[in-house]
Amino acid sequence: MSASDNRVIAVTGATGFVGGALVAELLRRRVPVTAMVRDRRKLSADDALGVASIDDIGPDTDWSAVLEGVGVLVHAAARVHVMDDQADDPLAEFRRVNTQGTLSLARQAAAAGVRRLVFVSTIKVNGDATPPGRPFTADAAPAPVDPYGVSKFEAERGLFALSEQTGMEVVVVRPPLVYGPGVKANFLSMMRWLNMGVPMPLGAIHNQRSLVALDNLVDLIITCANHPAAANQVFLAGDGEDLSTTELLRALGGALGRPARLIPVPASWLKLAARLLGKGAFAQRLCGSLQVDVGKARNLLDWRPPLTLEEGLSKAAGHYLESIK
């Protein structure tokens, strides 16, 4: 969407990790944008920024008042995947927000005349793991295995069905692990451990994993909002460079200026210990492979990641080091 377009782009989850970076980049490009948020106080004031308050994202949310004049809607808000989910029925909770909430929003968007909806999904729709050297592709058969992935896949199916019924264009973007300035969860923990010089038993992991820098994901989302060929397509996001957990820790340690202290413990030992401790899923993330092929975005959209993996790690590390000063 260009700055000359008289209709705005709206972003849900605009105070989140991805949504916040997307809003900032759209403003930098002088694109009219409306941030849809629960808490206005988390947004910095900007004359070019419209703000719409939403109490919840669910099947009964009324979006009609905030969709007027929107040309493209990027739906980045979600109930996100967490380790050790404490909900009584995790799948029901994921479906309420990620499936039913998304489809309710989409129906109202179509009724309001929104031209295109870009849905930020997840690589978990494809599955949790790949054999080394056999990456997921955008058009491969989905195979979600956890409640988060299932809820996102069901939303994708509903969105494409709605597109056929209404003519509103739908674009799905499935990212793997997203990292960048302000990243949290396991990636932040890795930076903390590396910066403190904590020895880690991860010096002999020979998997292959794809990541996507926050800037690269934002750029792909904006491309999907603009490009005519993106309509009604699914794209996988990634840096286009894969590496093992061991290689990632060494590269991230270098970006932090703190060489990684890695002990070469065999992956089979780590997996066994993790299973005994009830942490099998965490071990799979550390030791298993998950690769994505971004060839469809390259070929169909002529998209190239703006940052190399090294540049992305450097930005994430630099922000972390500034935050702890």
pLDDT for 271-324, tens place per residue? 898 888 888 887 888 899 999 999 999 999 999 999 999 999 999 999 999 999
The verdict on whether 179 is a catalytic residue reads: no
What is residue 239's three-state secondary structure?
A: coil
- Contact status, residue 136 vs residue 123, Cβ threshold 8 Å: yes
Q: What is the C-alpha separation between 37 and 194, in angstroms, rounded?
A: 34
Q: Which domain holds residue 13?
A: 8-179+211-239+292-306
Exposure string of 235-262, with b = 16+ CB inside 10 Å and e = fewer, is bbbbbbebbbbbbbbbbbbbbbebebeb
Give the sheet arrangement for strand 49-53, strand by strand.
Answer: 49-53, 33-37, 8-12, 70-75, 116-120, 169-174, 233-236
Decide if 16 is inside a domain.
yes
In the predicted model, residues of the chain with pLDDT beneath 70 are: 1-6, 39-50, 52-53, 55, 81-87
Per-residue tokens: 164: 């056929």
Decide if 286 is inside a domain.
no
Decide if 190 is inside a domain.
no
Nearest to 183 by CA among 211, 152, 225, 160: 211
Instruction: Provide the pLDDT for residue 45.
Output: 53
Instruction: Provide the pLDDT for residue 3.
Output: 39
Decide if 160 is inside a domain.
yes
Amino acid, res. 57:
I
Instruction: Provide the pLDDT for residue 40.
Output: 66
Decide if 271 is inside a domain.
no
Decide if 200 is inside a domain.
no
CATH number at residue 17: 3.40.50.720
Decide if 18 is inside a domain.
yes
Decide if 316 is inside a domain.
no
Catalytic residue among 148, 153, 179, 187: 148
How many structural domains does the chain have? 1
Instruction: Provide the pLDDT for residue 72.
Output: 97
Per-residue tokens: 110: 């179509």
DSSP sequence for 282-302: HHHHHHS-B-B--HHHHHHH-
What is residue 37's three-state secondary structure?
A: strand
Instruction: Provide the pLDDT for residue 53.
Output: 64
